[in-house]
Structure 1
Amino acid sequence: MAAPRKYPDELRERAIRMVLDLLEEDPGSQRGVFRRVGDQLGVNPETLRGWVRQSQIDAGSRPGTTTDDAQKLVELEKEVRELRRANAILRSASAFFAAELDRPSR
């Protein structure tokens, strides 16, 4: 289960919208925008920068791994771990039963 987020989703969405709107008005003021919006909303500017970057990736306007793709990767990696564990158990069981078959019967 994922840990609870420090900031509510509504705050995140509002902050991202504010930054994107301000960047659209004045693309040259990027550094100041993150600091200004972060101060207004009580969010660390670097945290805000990460949110905006991920939002741009999810929207397709920036290269990178989307949130959906990252979640799918996590799920697939979990499935691979489970399958490897199951295969190890099956190999052990197979070796055990093969050894039992090779024993002379009494």
Structure 2
Amino acid sequence: MINVHSEEYILGQNIRNCRMKKKWTQKQLAIAVDVDRADISRYENGTKGAMNFKKLKNFAEALDVTIDDLLDKENLKRGASIQKKYDQLNPVHQNIINETIDAYLCKENKGTIIS
């Protein structure tokens, strides 16, 4: 059974969230940090075990985040809270949220939306 409160699980979920923000597959991240794709899955699920500092640094660099970002429990809680609220919306309102986010991203990226 996976302990969702373990440091390994929290780290793994933060890695997953950062990977998803970059719109990367597990395979793309695996190539960037030089590990097997299956290991990415294990890290993200918190079943791989403790990660050494060098590996943690490689993940942070590949994902363009700090080590603190990857270790941040609050980061995971914020993401889960936002997702929970979003999931409670009906599809029409979810679409409005998606369009609003796309509009802000377009403005920030000067016209380029990455979907």
- Asked if Structure 1 and Structure 2 have the same fold, meaning a TM-score greater than 0.5 normalized by the shorter chain, the answer is no
TM-score by length of 1: 0.31
TM-score by length of 2: 0.29
Greater RCO (Cα-Cα under 8 Å, separation 6 or more): 2
The structure that has the greater radius of gyration is: 1
